[in-house]
Structure 1
Amino acid sequence: MILKANEVKHLYRRTARFYDAALLGYQLLGLDRHRQKAVAALALRPGDTVVDLECGTVANFPALVHAVGPTGQMIGMDLSEAMLAQARGLITRKGWTNAHLVHG
């Protein structure tokens, strides 16, 4: 089933608060290892800028921060304002001043 944009927004608005908790099972199965491999394949270097489309709660950002360092930039874009609200919380808690979010 293919969802329309407004249906996707509604789905993520309802699930944003517990989205990261829902991923815990996948993390136990090695999801973070796959994230690390994916980021390594990008061959990012300190100072690079990276864009994470449909970034959700920015679960990829820890690996991206490590890759681009404090002089790099991370830009996350998502269509769900609720997911971006969760992302803003993590960015603030981690103190990532080089992380930027775009709603779209």
Structure 2
Amino acid sequence: MLYARDTEGKLFRYHYDHTNKRWLQKEKLVGFGGWEVYYQLFSPGGDVLYAVTNDGLLRWYRYLPEREIDWAGPNTIGLGGWRMYRDVMTNTDACKLKKSS
């Protein structure tokens, strides 16, 4: 998955199938607005997003594709100080979405 946001704060989701070398989804609107308030967004995969606020909080979101535009979160998981880092990243193959039984 690849996420992108525009200057209006809308969030878009892209899904590329590397095996078949084709896009399964392009520019799907998954956030109607408000994402511009974040200083930084990044993802470890599995439709999980982390967001750093301008005041340094770290927030966690998870997109639930089976519910279309529906997010779990935000959950604040880091209190202050995250803005002092120029770049925050994750290991992008560390998070795998598992189906619940």
Between 1 and 2, higher relative CO (CA 8 Å, sep ≥ 6) is seen in 1
Task: Give the TM interval when normalised to the shorter protein.
Answer: under 0.3
TM-score by length of 2: 0.24
- Structure with bigger strand share is 2
- Structure with bigger helix share is 1
TM-score by length of 1: 0.24
